[in-house]
Amino acid sequence: IEEEHEIEIPEELKDIVEIKRQELLEAVANFDEDLMMLVLDGAEVDEETFKQAIRKATLTSEFFPAVCGTSFKNKGVKKMIDAVVDYLPSPIDIPAIKAEYDEKQVNVESTDDGEFAALAFKVMTDPYVGTLTFFRVYRGVLNKGTYVYNSTKGEKERIGRILQMHANSRVEIDECRAGDIAAAVGLKFTTT
C-alpha cells in the first residue's frame, strides 16, 4: 500500500482550484445561513466551518458530496472514510425508518432501547472464519451468544461471534449497538 502525501497545488492550476473552491462554497452556502454571510462578506472560511456546512447540506438529502479514490493501492480511501465520518448522518441525525412488523407498518427509531432490529446487507465467505453476514443495527443491542429472529426466513439464528471489520483485519466484539455496522459469523438462514 502506497502512503499518501500532500503536495502543493501546481502554479498553473491555482486559479482554477480557487474558482472551483468558491463555486463549492457558494453551493454549500445555500444550505447554511452563517456560511452565506461569510461568503457575501468576502470573509475567509476556515476548514472546520466549511466541513460543518457541507455536513449540514448533506443532511438535507439535496446536496451530495463526492470524493475521488480507488481501491487499487487504496488511493483516496482514507479521504473517503474521513468524508463518511465528517459528512454523512449519524443514526441520531436521521428520522425513524419504516418497517413491517406483524403485518403492520412501524417506525424504528435509532436507539439502543427497544427490540433489536438490523438489516443484513452482505453475505460473504471468508477462508478463515466461514460465512460472514454484514449488518447494520437500527435499534437495540446485539450480544454474542444470543438469538435473533430472521423475519424474512421466519427462523431464529444464534449469534455466535460478532466481528468489527477493518480494512485488513477484524476484531471480535461482545456487542454492537444502534448505528453500528458489524459482521456475524456462521448465520445459517440469512441471505441478501
Residue 153's nearest CA partner among 133, 139, 136 is 133
Exposure string for 127-142, b = 16+ CB within 10 A, e = fewer: eeeeebbbbbbbbbeb
Q: Which of 128, 148, 131 is nearest to 140 (CA)?
A: 148
Three cell numbers, residue 149: 429472529
Cell digits of residue 18: 480557487
The answer, yes or no, to whether residue 187 has pLDDT greater than 90, is: yes
Residue 28: band (very low, low, confident or very high) from pLDDT cuts 50, 70, 90: very high
Q: What is the pLDDT of residues 61-99, one digit of tens each?
A: 899 999 888 877 778 878 888 888 899 887 777 788 888
Residues 114-155 pLDDT 10s: 889 999 999 998 888 889 999 999 899 999 999 999 988 989
Q: Where are the domains of the chain?
A: 11-89, 93-185
pLDDT in tens, 29-50: 999 999 999 999 989 999 999 9
Q: Tell me the pairing of strands 141-143 and 147-150.
A: unpaired
93-185: CATH class: mainly beta
